[in-house]
Amino acid sequence: MSTMTLKPASLPANVNDGAEEIAPVTRVRSYWQSVGYRLRHDYITLFFGLMVVLIVLAAVFAPLLAPFDPYAQSVLGRIKPPGWRGHPLGTDELGRDLLTRLIYGGRISLMMGLVPVLIAAVVGGTLGVIGGFAGKVANSAIMRTMDVFYAFPSILLAVAISGAMGGGITNGILSLSLVFIPAMCRVAETVTSQVRGLDYIEAARASGAGTLTIIRHHVLSNVLGPVFIYASSLVSVSILLASGLSFLGLGVQPPEPDWGLMLSTLRQSLYVAPLNCAMPGIAIFITSICFNLVSDGVRAAMDVRH
């Protein structure tokens, strides 16, 4: 880049004399370098990113961190306040250690937050690229079908599908994936249809590139960014919806430790131990707000088109 700052040799030395000195040499950053630069200087995102990492680590190393067995019940130790006989946060309605179950519950909550979004990003993204690139009949067929699913409020669709299929983690993941696919599809379709009309796609085709090559090289590189940004914002939505499903008795089934399910069973002891009862909700809230803020930060860092 340094050659740019040299004055053309043919110019007389006194042209622009003094008025315009040699421009300072600025290193031009690549797209990812500038994204990284902005993220490194966004301390709020860094902090909440660290929180997300800690939550993930706690979930992964749950057996090492948790002070008790998540399934060990005790008839005499039911609904005890924080600090009772070495239970840091007290116990639940079956005498199981609350902190242990909160740590283990993170495993399922994180899985329910990430897996449906991942499935939806792959399936919805693929459908959107196909629709956007094929155009015409295929596009309307795909997008009008998606419009139908758009007509449901997300929690309602999730409840409808897993309510019909019955509880269980697999059905929960399936129904949440279905909830997110239309939105993902729409994001991918919009970008693909925009890119499809651009000149360099025409140029690529003229120079003999096949459809798959064009999609792989030119379309995907444009679609992946927006899809990733959107997907990252869905993780916390997915965690909230999944915990809601478990709260209703769908999704995760007892005795599995899950935050939504814990809220639902501890609700029976609302008058006895309100503090214990509120705790799983705090875990959901903190996890979800961390993912939300990280996703906001990533979006701000990646969105260069002002």
Partner 1 sequence: MGWYILRRIVFAIPIALGVSVVCFSLVYLAPGDPLQTLLPPDATAETIAIVKHAYGFDQPIPVQYVIWLWHVLHGDFGRSIATQRPVTSEVFGALSNTSVLALFAVPLSFVMGYVLGAIAGCFPGGVIDRLVTGSAVVGVSLPNYWLGLVLVIVFAVNLSILPASSMGPSGSDNFSLISPDDLRYLVLPVLTLAMIPIGLLARTTRAAVTEVRSQDFVTTLRAMGLGEVAIIRHVLKNASPQVLTVMGLQFGYLMGGSILVETVFTWPGSGFLLSKAIINRDIPVLQGTILALSLVFVFTNLVVDLLQAVMDPRIRRA
Dihedral sign for Cα atoms in the order 13, 18, 20, 24: positive
Does position 243 interact with partner 1 (CB under 8 A)? The reply is: yes
User: Residue type at 43?
Assistant: Y
Does position 304 interact with partner 1 (CB under 8 A)? The reply is: no
Residue recorded with tokens 């501890």? 266
- Per DSSP, the residues of 250-295 read -SS-TTS--HHHHHHHHGGGTTT-HHHHHHHHHHHHHHHHHHHHHH
Site for partner 1 in 118-137 (CB under 8 A): none
Q: Which residue lies nearer to partner 1 by CB, 66 or 277?
A: 277
Site for partner 1 (CB under 8 A): which residue of 127, 184, 263, 302? 263
259 token code pair? 């935050």
Rounded CA-CA distance 195/214 in Å is: 11
What is the nearest approach in angstroms of partner 1 to the Cβ of residue 28? Answer: 29
Does position 56 interact with partner 1 (CB under 8 A)? The reply is: no
Does position 166 interact with partner 1 (CB under 8 A)? The reply is: yes
What is the nearest approach in angstroms of partner 1 to the Cβ of residue 24? Answer: 31
Does position 153 interact with partner 1 (CB under 8 A)? The reply is: yes
First-residue to last-residue Cα distance in the chain? 25
- Note the maximum CA span of the chain: 95
What is the nearest approach in angstroms of partner 1 to the Cβ of residue 212? Answer: 31
Rounded CA-CA distance 206/89 in Å is: 67
Does position 292 interact with partner 1 (CB under 8 A)? The reply is: yes
Q: Which residue lies nearer to partner 1 by CB, 86 or 166?
A: 166
Site for partner 1 (CB under 8 A): which residue of 103, 142, 159, 187? 159
What is the nearest approach in angstroms of partner 1 to the Cβ of residue 100? Answer: 20
Q: Residues binding partner 1: what is the number (CB under 8 A)?
A: 43
Site for partner 1 (CB under 8 A): which residue of 91, 109, 232, 236? 236
CB atoms within 10 A of CB 276: 22
Dihedral sign for Cα atoms in the order 210, 226, 285, 238: negative
Per-residue burial over 256-274, b if 16 or more Cβ lie within 10 Å, else e, is: bbbbbbbbbbbeeeeeebe
* Residues 192/143, Cβ–Cβ less than 8 Å: no
Does position 164 interact with partner 1 (CB under 8 A)? The reply is: yes
- Contact code string over 184-223 relative to partner 1, x by CB under 8 A: ----------------------------------------
Q: Which residue lies nearer to partner 1 by CB, 70 or 251?
A: 251
Q: Which stretch binds partner 1 (CB under 8 A): 75-83, 179-187, 212-220, 287-295?
A: 287-295
Does position 112 interact with partner 1 (CB under 8 A)? The reply is: no
Rounded CA-CA distance 136/129 in Å is: 13
Contact residues for partner 1, defined by CB under 8 A = 144-145, 147-149, 151-153, 155-156, 159-161, 163-166, 236-237, 240, 243-244, 247-250, 260, 263, 267, 270-271, 274, 277-278, 280-281, 284-285, 288-289, 292-293, 296
